[in-house]
Chains A and B, each alone.
Chain A
Amino acid sequence: MFILKNAWISIKRNKGRNILIGIIILIIACACTITLAIKNTAVDLIDSYKSAYDKEVTISFDRANMMKDFDPSQSEGRENAREKFDNIASYTISDVESFADSKYIESYYYTYGVGLNGNNIEKAEIESDNDMPTGFGHGKGNNLSSTDFTLTGYSSLDAMSEFINGTYTMSEITDNAWDIAFLGNYVFINEELASYNDLGLNDKIMLEDEDGNTYEFEIIGIFKENEEESTNTMSMFSASANTIITNANAVTAITTSNEDLKATINPTFIIDSYDNVEKLQDEFYEKGLDENFILQTNEELALSGVSSIENINSFATTFLSLTLIIGGIVLFVINMINIRERKYEIGVLRTIGISKFKLTMQFVSELIIVSVVALILGAGIGAVSSKGVSNSLLENEINSSNEKAQEIDKNFGGAMNGGMPDRGNRGEMRGKGMPVVEAYDSIDAVVDIKVLLELLGIGLSLVLVSSIASMVSIERFSPLTILKERS
């Protein structure tokens, strides 16, 4: 009581100095509130963005391992590489199912490709054939050079990464396309192929394998490959001109009926954590995956989307640190001056028997009372300002997230059909699937209890650190010396 009473008397007595200290703490509190709110919001956004991306693992060639003995200048080297390539054991759908039966895997999907020739349609002409066999790697091109068309079957909407990433965009689509796309022999064809063969929606096409077996499909959508995404620059047609998209069940039916057909499967596994990739890879090898394959993740992609927010987060951290350092120094200096000015008072109080502890507590209490008032005001001002400031800083992020969401909708033909298909109810083996990019109208840099507690912690730490001056001085001052100096 004595401590608080004296502290309050001193605060009233030294109004000017305490107002100055209060203003400094208010500025620090205000800056800290805004920075902490932005920081916490940015961290939430980063977490939300990362969680929006499934943790995907795909199987791909270990190219470095494959090419380590390859010497392109020697024909022998090329032969060795080819032999090595031919000897790599491929994997089948049952292998993929076996791989997927792992505690690390939450779900999986895949594309299943097979090469077929046209029966009642013609292959879109290609001037310069740059097609390369793609083997078993995960890639969008599945053209098999010995056949006219590549029939690519997707196990679910989630597997249709070309539509998600904008390589393909649906230009025409039937009203019920997404209701039946995964149920039977329905296909989406490239608009160049459609134009070349004068095909339209609901037309039927016939494909045949090398043994003469025919398969009929109905066209339920026509897509186009975006020019900037096309890799086949030497051709008048895009790379996907002869790619016919269907569902995995349709391809499975074909490969089951003719076991001689060579099919490629590109699975994507959704895992629980990127930390388990190595363990999963070892498990795959144990289950028979050739060791020339390795597992690759989309971690880099997931992180790339949040780089701007992370920049803001690190800027906020730096700003916060600087504010605290400069604020701490200023408060320390003011405290030093304060102590020097009140040396006589300390001498008198010590002489009449007030202990060093009580005296220190009185000085600290004075600072705490002023600080708490300033912190409350600063938090209030910061809370009001933080939303506007953070929205302004994160404006680009808001815009890009909106654009991304709209683009994906458009790629699936949503603009024509009143919205994106509901991926949640489709696909036989669907997990969480492809990234769900949220559209933000604004980013709420909320000053919540967490921010307030952090602010209180920072404020009190700052007060205690800047009080070190008074603590040390009170400890070192000899009251008699002070009073003699005064005399």
Chain B
Amino acid sequence: MANKNNEEKEIKDNKAIKEKNPSTKNIILSIKNASYRYSDAEENDYALRDVSFDFESGKMYAIRGRSGTGKTTLLSLISGLERCTEGEIIFDGKSLKDMNLDKYRNSDIGIVFQSYNLLPFMTASENIILSMDANGLKIKNKKARAIELMAKVGLKETYANRKVLRLSGGEQQRVAIARSLSYNPKMIIADEPTGNLDKQTETEILDIFKKLAHEENKCVIIVTHSANVCNNVDVIYDLKKVKEESNN
């Protein structure tokens, strides 16, 4: 069944863009021949090599690959936590090389992690407000906005004042998604967002992402190796190991 689903999807590998030359109409993020090598690595020892992918607004993407294929590296490049050593990443027409990456992270993209990465000493609403503060968002009632965002991801108002450690994994992940939405970014990047969740919760979280992509025209990129996640996205990008690619 999974295979059948995959066949219906657009499945692309590292070189897909070069080969198919798709339309650039709704492209929000474009990775062009991006390579990354750690500063202490040898000359040809790349963690990620010559990757070219395009991402459109209103679509949900999965980036999959086995361990060591550079999924995390690609995520850190897309999210502006690292810079490409070769090639470039274009966001909304601008190269990340020319952008303030802190500003990029707190305005243009929202990041969701497998382990939620909320601050445990804060309440759910405080975590969301912190993100608004980081963005410099100037709205009168930030807490009301936080509660509104929590409702959007299926969390009751009563959770707002709870310390996040008193919430379940699924609830924490919803808070993390709400946090990533606090400044209305154009793109959501999620790293194994359902990795710690049960099937039911995974489906609920994926539904939230789908809505964000299809109803709010956001680009949602999920790094995963979960088949269920891949079944729910619009486009899957396969990452191959640098060595495998060289052999091919």
Contact = CB atoms under 8 A, between A and B. Distances in A.
Interface of A: 2, 5-6, 9, 13, 345, 347-356, 478-480, 483-484, 486-487
Given A353-B104, A353-B105, A353-B134, A345 B119 contact: yes
Chain A CB within 10 Å, residue with most, of B72, B115, B133: B133
Nearest to B102: A355
A365 to B, nearest CB: 15
Chain A interface, DSSP helix/strand/loop, else mixed: helix
Contacts of B114: 487
A483 B117 CA distance: 7
B113 A352 contact: no
* Contact residues on B (Cβ < 8 Å of other chain), bracket: 20 to 34
A479 B81 contact: yes
B106 A480 contact: no
Contacts of A356: 102
The 7 lowest CB-CB distance pairs between A and B, nearest first, are: A353-B106, A353-B105, A355-B102, A487-B115, A480-B76, A2-B133, A480-B81
Interface of B: 72, 75-76, 79, 81-82, 102-107, 111, 113-115, 117-119, 121-122, 130-131, 133-136, 179
19 contacts: A2-B136, A345-B119, A347-B117, A348-B119, A349-B130, A350-B81, A351-B79, A351-B113, A351-B117, A352-B105, A352-B106, A352-B111, A352-B130, A352-B179, A353-B102, A353-B105, A353-B106, A353-B135, A354-B106
A51 to B, nearest CB: 59
A480 B82 contact: yes
A348 B81 CA distance: 12
Contacts of B82: 478, 480
Contact of B113 (A2, A349, A483): A483
A459 B76 CA distance: 40
Given A348-B119, A352-B105, A352-B130, 19 more contacts: A2-B136, A9-B122, A13-B121, A348-B117, A350-B81, A351-B79, A351-B81, A351-B111, A351-B117, A352-B111, A353-B105, A353-B106, A353-B135, A356-B102, A480-B76, A480-B81, A480-B82, A484-B72, A487-B113
Chain B CB within 10 Å, residue with most, of A9, A348, A352, A487: A352
Chain B CB within 10 Å, residue with most, of A356, A484, A486: A484
Contacts of B179: 352
A256 B106 CA distance: 101
B117 A2 contact: no
A350 B134 CA distance: 10
Contacts of B118: 348
Contacts of A13: 121
A353 B81 contact: no
A351 B105 contact: yes
A356 B107 CA distance: 16
A345 B126 CA distance: 14
Contacts of B121: 13
B80 to A, nearest CB: 9
Contacts of A348: 117-119
B81 A478 contact: yes
B137 to A, nearest CB: 11
Contacts of B79: 351
B115 A349 contact: no
A308 to B, nearest CB: 56
B117 A354 contact: no
Contacts of A347: 117
Contact of B131 (A352, A479, A486, A487): A352
Nearest to A354: B134
Given A352-B131, A480-B82, A486 B115 contact: yes
Given A486-B115, A486-B117, A349 B81 contact: no
B105 A480 contact: no
B181 to A, nearest CB: 12
Contacts of A487: 113-115
A347 to B, nearest CB: 7
Nearest to B111: A351
A6 B119 CA distance: 12
A352 B81 CA distance: 10
A353 B117 contact: no
